[in-house]
Structure 1
Amino acid sequence: MTSDPWGRVDEAGTVYVRTADGEKVVGSWQAGSPEEALAYFERKYDGLVVEIGLLERRVRTTDLSAKDATTAIEHLREQVDAHHAVGDLDALRKRLDKLTGDVDARREQRKAAKARQSEEARASKEQLVAEAEELAASEQWRAAGERLRGLVDTWKSLPRLDRKTDDELWHRFSHARSAFSKRRKAHFAALDAQREDSRRIKEKLVAEAEGLSGSTDWGPTAARYRELMQDWKAAGRAQRDAEDDLWNRFRGAQDIFFQARGEVFAERDAEQRENLGRKEELAAEAEKLLPVTDLKAARAAFRSINERWEAVGHVPRDARPKVEGRMHAVERALQDAEESEWRRTNPEARARAEGLTGQLQAAVDKLARQVDQARAAGNNAKADKLAQELEGRQALLDQALKGLHEFGG
Structure 2
Amino acid sequence: MSSDPWGRVDETGTVYVRTADGEQVVGSWQAGSPEEALAYFERKYEGLVVEIGLLEKRVKTTDLSTKDAQTAIGHLREQVEAHHAVGDLDALRARLDKLVASVESRREERKAQRAKQSDEARGAKEALVVEAEELARSDQWRAAGERLRSLVDTWKGLPRLDRKSDDELWHRFSHARSAFSKRRKQHFAQLDAQREEARQTKERLVSEAEALSNSTDWGPTAARYRDLMSEWKAAGRAQREHEDDLWNRFRGAQDVFFAARSSVFAERDAEQSENLKLKEELAVEAERLVPVTDLKAARAAFRSVNERWEAIGHVPRDARPKVEGRMHAVERALQAAEEAEWRRTNPEARARAEGLTGQLQAAVDKLRAQIEQARAQGNTAKADKLERELEGRQALLDQAVKGLHEFGG
| TM-score category, normalised to shorter length | 0.7 to 0.9
- Judge conservation of contact 1:148–1:177 (CA < 8 Å) in 2: yes
Aligned equivalent of 2:267: 267
Please tell me whether the aligned partners of residues 52 and 76 of structure 1 are also in contact (alpha carbons under 8 angstroms).
no
Q: Are the counterparts in 1 of residues 48 and 76 from structure 2 also a CA contact under 8 Å? A: no
2:7, 2:38 within 8 Å by CA — same for their partners in 1? Answer: no
Q: Kindly provide the CA deviation profile for residues 168-210 of structure 1, in whole angstroms up to 9, marking residues without a partner as x.
A: 4434444444444345444444443443343333333322222
C-alpha distance in structure 1 between counterparts of 2:366 and 2:325, whole Å: 51
- What's the offset of the Cα at 1:42? 8.8
CA distance in 2, matches of 1:335, 1:42: 150
Q: Which runs of 5+ in 1 are unaligned?
A: none
> For this pair of structures, how many residues does the alignment match?
403
Corresponding residue number in structure 2 for 1:221: 221
Residue 405 of structure 1 corresponds to which residue in structure 2?
405
Are residues 144 and 34 of structure 1, via their aligned partners in 2, closer, same or farther at CA, if it must alter by over 3 Å? closer
Question: 2:377 and 2:66 mapped to 1: Cα distance?
Answer: 152
| 1:42–1:109 Cα change, 3 Å | closer
Partner of 2:192: 192
3-state SS in 1 of match to 2:314? coil
Change (3 A) 1:2 1:330: same
1:15 to 1:305, Cα distance in 2 relative to 1, 3 A: farther
1:113-152 correspondence to structure 2 within 5 Å: 113-129=113-129, 131-132=131-132, 135-136=135-136, 139-152=139-152
Alignment of 1:9-88 (within 5 A): 19-22=19-22, 30=33, 47=50, 50-51=53-54, 54-55=57-58, 57-58=60-61, 62-75=62-75, 77-78=77-78, 81=81, 84=85, 86-87=87-88
> What is the SS of the residue equivalent to 1:161?
coil
Residues 236-255 of structure 1 mapped to structure 2, 5 A cutoff:
236-255=236-255
Contact 1:195 1:239 in 2 (8 A): yes
CA contact (8 A) 1:121 1:158 kept: yes
Equivalent in the alignment of 1:107? 107
CA distance in 1, matches of 2:93, 2:381: 154
- Shift of residue 248, structure 1, vs aligned partner: 0.7
Query: Bigger CA drift: 328-337 or 359-368?
Result: 359-368
Contact 1:299 1:334 in 2 (8 A): yes
Alignment-mate amino acid for residue 254 of structure 1: Q
Paired AA for residue 221 in structure 2: T
Which deviates the most, 266-275 or 373-382? 373-382
Aligned CA distance change for structure 1 residues 181 and 42 (closer, same or farther; 3 Å): closer
User: 1:393 and 1:49, CA in 2 relative to 1: closer, same or farther beyond 3 A?
Assistant: same
Residue aligning to 2:364: 364
Contact 1:44 1:86 in 2 (8 A): no
| Partners of 2:99 and 2:392 in 1: CA distance | 139
Q: What's the offset of the Cα at 1:405?
A: 0.9
The amino acid of 2:205's aligned partner reads L
Shift of 1:256: 0.7
Q: 1:17 to 1:343 in 2, by over 3 A?
A: farther
Q: 1:22-65: per-residue Cα shift (whole Å, max 9, x none)?
A: 4556788947699989997896687478546634642xxx5443
The 8 Å contact of residues 45 and 86 in structure 1, kept in 2 or not, is answered as no
> Which residue identity does 1:406 align to in structure 2?
E
Deviation at 1:161, TM superposition (A): 2.9
CA–CA distance in structure 2, aligned partners of residues 66 and 374 of structure 1 = 153
* Counterpart residue number, 1:283: 283
Where does 1:177-188 land on structure 2 (aligned, <5 Å)? 177-188=177-188
Contact 2:295/2:338, CA 8 A, preserved across alignment: yes
Contact 2:121 2:158 in 1 (8 A): yes
Query: CA–CA distance in 2 between the matches of 1:356 and 1:105?
Result: 143
| Counterpart residue type for residue 104 of structure 2 | D
Letter matched to residue 322 of structure 2: K
What is the 5 A alignment of 1:147-166? 147-166=147-166
- Structure 1 Cα separation of the partners of residues 244 and 352 of structure 2: 84
Distance in 1 between residues matched to 2:361 and 2:20, nearest whole Å: 168
For normalisation by structure 2, the TM-score amounts to: 0.82
In 1, Cα distance between equivalents of 2:368 and 2:20: 169
Instruction: Name the stretch that deviates more: 393-402 or 264-273.
Output: 393-402
- What does residue 231 of structure 1 align with? 231
Q: Does the Cα contact within 8 Å between 1:9 and 1:34 map onto a contact in 2?
A: no
Distance 1:303 1:378 in 2: 69
Structure 2 residue identity aligned to 1:149: R
Secondary structure of the 1:216 match is coil
> Shift in Å at residue 91 of structure 1?
5.1
Shift of 1:349: 1.3
Distance verdict in 2 for CA 1:247–1:172, change over 3 Å:
same
SS of residue paired to 1:158:
coil
The letter for the 1-side match of 2:118 is S
SS at match of 2:159: coil
| Whole-angstrom CA distance in 2 between matches of 1:322 and 1:303 | 20
Retained in 2: the 8 A contact 1:364–1:394? yes
**Matched-pair contact (CA < 8 Å) for 1:17–1:23:** yes
SS of residue matched to 2:408: coil
What's the CA shift for 1:118? 3.2
- State the shift of 1:375 in Å: 3.7
Matches of 1:374 and 1:72, distance apart in 2: 163
Distance, in Å, in 1 between the alignment partners of 2:371 and 2:14 is 183
379-388 or 390-399, larger mean C-alpha shift: 379-388
Q: CA deviation at 1:310?
A: 1.4
Aligned equivalents of 2:382, 2:92: Cα separation in 1: 156
107 and 25 in structure 1: CA distance in 2 versus 1, 3 angstrom threshold = same
Q: Is the 8 A contact 2:42 2:86 kept in 1?
A: no
Q: Is the 8 A contact 1:26 1:86 kept in 2?
A: no
Residues 1:68 and 1:149: Cα distance change in structure 2 (over 3 Å)? same
